[in-house]
Amino acid sequence: MDNVKDINITTAEWRIMRVIWTLGSATSRELIDILGESMDWKPATIKTLLRRLVDKDIVATTKQGNKFIYTAKMQETDTIELTTKQFFDQLCARKVGTAIASLVDESELTAEDIDKIKNALDKKQPVEEIKCNCLPDNCNC
Ligand SMILES: [Zn+2]
């Protein structure tokens, strides 16, 4: 990730992105067929969502004949990494560890996933203390 930018992807936009990442690229017709059926979305809704994703620079669109082809400008792993980081940045710094632990607790993980997490933890250097970054008068950390 060279250009770190703030991205804000809504739940509905994630649905569209999941399909585009899976297919590699998709026409609006394909997206309307897939998401119209699975999500019960109207074509106009899907077109609006696609336009927003293009405006946000997450999706690129190219015209081929009379069709528009949509391709991801942001890779799936980068997007997951960035949005996860953005989410954790919103928490009080002192609550991040607990949030990560409960995330691990509640997630389905393969042996390979668990190895990855253990490996990351083994390499992690602990800090002495984490400063709370809540609002001064509202903190109960
Ligand atoms: Zn705090």
- Phi and psi at 64, nearest 5°, equal -130, 105
**CA of residue 95 to ligand 1 center, whole Å:** 7
Show the beta-strand stretches assigned E in 18-141: 25-27, 59-64, 67-72
One-letter-per-residue 3-state SS of 95-127: HHHHHHHHHHHHCCCCHHHHHHHHHHHHHCCCC
- Residue 132 structure tokens: 């709370």
Q: For the chain, what is the total number of helices (H) and then of strands (E)?
A: 6, 3
Residue 89 DSSP class: H
pLDDT of residue 1: 43
- Other C-beta atoms lying within 10 Å of the C-beta of residue 117: 14
pLDDT at 109: 98
What does the pLDDT profile of the chain (141 residues) look like in tens digits?
Answer: 444 567 889 999 999 999 999 999 999 999 999 999 899 999 999 999 999 999 999 999 999 898 999 999 999 999 999 999 999 988 899 999 999 999 999 999 999 999 999 999 999 999 999 988 887 776 777
pLDDT at 35: 94
Ligand 1 centroid–CA 87 distance in Å is 15
Q: In the prediction, which pLDDT does 22 show?
A: 96
Contacts of 116 (CB under 8 A, 6+ apart): none
Predicted pLDDT of residue 2: 45
C-alpha of residue 20 to centroid of ligand 1, in Å: 38
All domains in the chain, ordered by first residue: 11-72 (1.10.10.10), 91-125 (no CATH)
What pLDDT, on the 0 to 100 scale, is given for residue 6?
Answer: 75
pTM of the complete model: 0.80
Separation of alpha carbons 40 and 33, rounded Å: 10
The set of residues, in sequence order, having a beta carbon less than 8 Å from that of 109 and lying 6+ positions away, is 117
**SS3 of residue 59 by DSSP:** strand
Q: Ligand 1 center to residue 89 CA distance, Å? A: 12
Looking at residue 80, its pLDDT comes to 94
Amino acid 133: pLDDT: 84
